[in-house]
Amino acid sequence: MKNFKAFISLIIIISIYSIIIEPFSLQKSYLSIDIPEYNGNIKIIHITDLHMYKYIFFHDKILNEIKKENPDLILYTGDSIIKNTEQKDLTLFFKLLGEIAPVYLIYGNWDYYDINKVNNAYNNKNIHIINDNTTILKIKELNLKLIGLPIYKQITRIDTTPASYTITLEHIPDTIFYNKEVFDQSNLILAGHTHGGQIYIPYLTKKILKKYAFYLRGKKELDKDKIMYINRGLGAWFNIRLFSSPEILVIELH
């Protein structure tokens, strides 16, 4: 009887933590990258999977933590909405995000449930959609190429213009392997989609989700001088997270 009560108590504690505490926590991760023959320092924020319904205190927290880093650039890899997302709240978030630094982004799979709502939120002079496109920026004397991979298909046009460093944005981690030419020229590949497993139980979560993503979270070296980072994202399905807290990635190129 005592063991049963202890088990029920443990389930209650885990439930409270995974529904009320962890989904509203926020962890910063850091990635430092050396670029040969570059003497500057560029700070980039990567976020993904907002999955916003309404603007709440948590979104203030996200923006404040990003603002503290004083980034030169913000990269976002999709999934802004859920069903019934409030347009004005989503628009407000991206307006405030764009006031911190220029934002370059792509679409995620959820965004296609209401692409007009998503595009309305992105209708801001400091928000740049690079889905199925490429752009080259000059930031602090570095020629930085950004490639935005679309989901479920190959990129329409490959831009082979040389750049000092190339970052590819994709939503679903496996997409890069269907775009070999993009893979070959990429130095850093940023993805989301997996939520880091969301409910992360070592070995078990990886086994269950293996068919959906070859890798679930964090940094993975794919080749010499080629890194992939899968961000755990900010939002969640059904607002539940366990051992996979929301994440902001801070990247330094120097």
Give residue 3's pLDDT band: very low, low, confident or very high (50, 70, 90). confident
What's the predicted TM-score (pTM) here?
0.94
What DSSP string runs through 78-126? S--B-TT--HHHHHHHHHHHHHHS-EEE---TGGGGSHHHHHHHT-STT
Residue pLDDT, tens place only, 64-109: 999 999 999 999 999 999 989 999 999 999 999 999 999 999 999 9
Least confident span in 29-33, 43-47, 223-227? 223-227
CB atoms within 10 A of CB 160: 10
Between 239 and 65, the more confident residue is: 65
Instruction: Locate the domains of the chain by residue range.
Output: 2-253
CATH number of the domain located at residue range(s) 2-253 in this protein: 3.60.21.10
Tell me how long the chain is.
Answer: 254
State yes or no: pLDDT of 1 exceeds 70: no
- Pick from 248, 235, 237, 191: nearest CA to 56: 235
CA–CA gap between residue 197 and residue 100 (Å, rounded):
29
The angle that helices 57-69 and 87-100 make with each other, rounded to 10 degrees, is 10
What pLDDT is recorded for position 171?
97
- By CB atoms closer than 10 A (0-12, 13-18, 19+), residue 188 is buried
Spatial contact of 208 and 168, defined as CB atoms under 8 Å apart: no
What pLDDT is recorded for position 237?
76
Q: What is the mean pLDDT of the chain?
A: 92
